[in-house]
Amino acid sequence: MQVVVPFAAETPKTRLEGVLTRSERLRFARAMLADVLAAIDAAGHEPTVVSTSPLSFDGELESVPSSVSVEIDDRALTDAVDARLPDRGGDPIAVVMADLALATPAALESLFATDADVAIAPGRGGGTNALVVRTPEFRVDYHGTSYLDHCEIARKAGVSLEEVDSFRLGTDVDEPDDLVEVLIHGPGRAPDCLRTFGFALECDGGRVGAERLENPAKEP
């Protein structure tokens, strides 16, 4: 099975710009990517990063598994993924998003081990966080509520569909509130990265939050 990890190398995590500077967003996105790649490798698969621009394996990425390869593709996500889906007789392909900072090998295996033509791990808010495609009859559409769109595409194509209900694969990191989950449940580099930025859990009664103990220096 091919495992593809799309990555926006130049402008990642724009919805975190209220709490992270641009350079911090770049570092944090790379840390999450490193965690996802390590989990895929530990699950027994060789991941391919589909990056929008060349990717250097230094800093947060310097210790990623040697099995990782990189392909450059600056097309929109839907087009880049569609170009890699199986033709007739081709190998199945899995697509795992780069911001699944809570992903573990066991969680990924629950997705990879499915038998359906299409298996989807939905994200909160209607997104598609990970999927496996085993048929040439299916194509993706990552616009809007992509989970519902993908279910409808599978239905119209007459292929079998399985939903993988997983907290770890269902938690993608897009908004400031998502940082709480990374600090609590993240198994790798991403929570350490946040802590180096000064983030910690805030537990002053009620809902737990992520608090920055000091503000970052203003970037020019």
Residue 215: its pLDDT value, please? 67
Pairing between strand 128-133 and 118-122? antiparallel
Residue 207: its pLDDT value, please? 80
Residue 219: its pLDDT value, please? 63
User: Residue 23: enclosing H or E segment and its boundaries?
Assistant: helix 22-42
Residue 11: its pLDDT value, please? 84
Q: Which domains does the chain have, with CATH numbers?
A: 2-173 (3.90.550.10)
Q: What are the DSSP E strand ranges found in the chain?
A: 2-7, 47-51, 69-72, 93-96, 118-122, 128-133, 161-163, 199-202, 209-212
Residue 115: its pLDDT value, please? 95
Parts of the chain with a pLDDT under 70: 89, 205, 215-220
